[in-house]
Structures are given as structure tokens and as C-alpha cells.
Amino acid sequence: MRGTIEVSIVLPCLNEAETIAICIRKARQSLDEMKISGEIVIGDNGSTDGSQGIAESLGARVIHVPNPGYGNALLGAFHASKGKFLIMGDADDSYSLDKLEDFILKLRSGADLVMGNRFAGNIEPTILRKNFRDVLDLVRGH
């Protein structure tokens, strides 16, 4: 049951010591600017570079996820989150975690799902083709 925390920002992590502090600071900035009750939850998949300590020192809650894989790290953090809304990003600073206002406003207005585009509105044709092939292979059972 979700409590008084409105937004949980979830970041999967595996050895992201070089960038995790940047991501947590950006996420915290978004929450503070909007005066939102929020938390930052890190789903850690066994980092060996000190990522967990960095995250904890910046006030993030670290969930140790024993099952390997990106999806498992996300799921572990999602399940541990206490927010009414969940926002996911990556701990490699590839998402604009300091620009979450539009997402939160859409969620508050009743949207079930809000998606961003970290490619700033552009999808390279090779990326699209590869992803489409992956989806086709999944559907075909390959």
C-alpha cells in the first residue's frame, strides 16, 4: 500500500559509481523544485564499485536485488517503492531526471502511463529497426 509519498523515482543500478550521484542530485532537484514528497529508490544488482554507499550517502534508499538483470533490478525497486506514482530512469545519467515536472503533472491529471524520449524527439532508423526486429523475434518465439 502506497503511503504519503507521492513520487518514487526508481533507478536500477549495477556499478554506476561514476554517475549515480549526478542522477540522484537531479532527481532530488526535481522533487524539491515542485515541493513533492518523494523518494529515490535504487534497485542494486550487486554493484562492486561503491555505488550503494554513494546512493545512501545522498539519501537514496538502496534495495539489494539478488536476482541478476536490469528487469529484476527495476522490479525489486518498484516493489519496495512507497510512492503513489513511479518514475523510472537509469543511473547512467541518460535521462533528464531534473526535468520531471511534465511527467508528474500528467500523472496527477489522471494519466495511467507517461513516457519520455531520451533521444530528444529523434529515433535513429537503425535503433528503430533493431528494436522492431527484437519485438518480432519475441512474438515469433525466437
Rounded distance between C-alpha atoms, residue 126 and residue 44, angstroms: 30
| pLDDT given for residue 108 in this prediction | 92
Tell me if 10 sits within 8 A of 72, measured CB to CB.
no
Residue in the structure block whose three cell numbers are 536476482: 67
Residue 132 has pLDDT above 60, yes or no: no
Lowest mean pLDDT among 33-37, 64-68, 119-123: 119-123
Instruction: Determine contact, residues 91/11, Cβ cutoff 8 Å.
Output: yes
Q: Which helix (H) or strand (E) holds 54?
A: helix 51-57
Spell out the domains of the chain, with CATH numbers in brackets. Answer: 7-140 (3.90.550.10)
What per-residue confidence (pLDDT) applies to 136? 53
Q: Which long-range contacts (C-beta less than 8 Å, at least 24 apart) are formed by 102-111?
A: 104/7, 104/34, 104/36
Residue 110 has a CB neighbour count (10 Å cut-off) of: 6
Q: What is the pTM of this model?
A: 0.81
The residues pairing with 10 across neighbouring beta strands, listed in sequence order, are 41, 88
Strands (E), 46-127: 61-64, 85-88
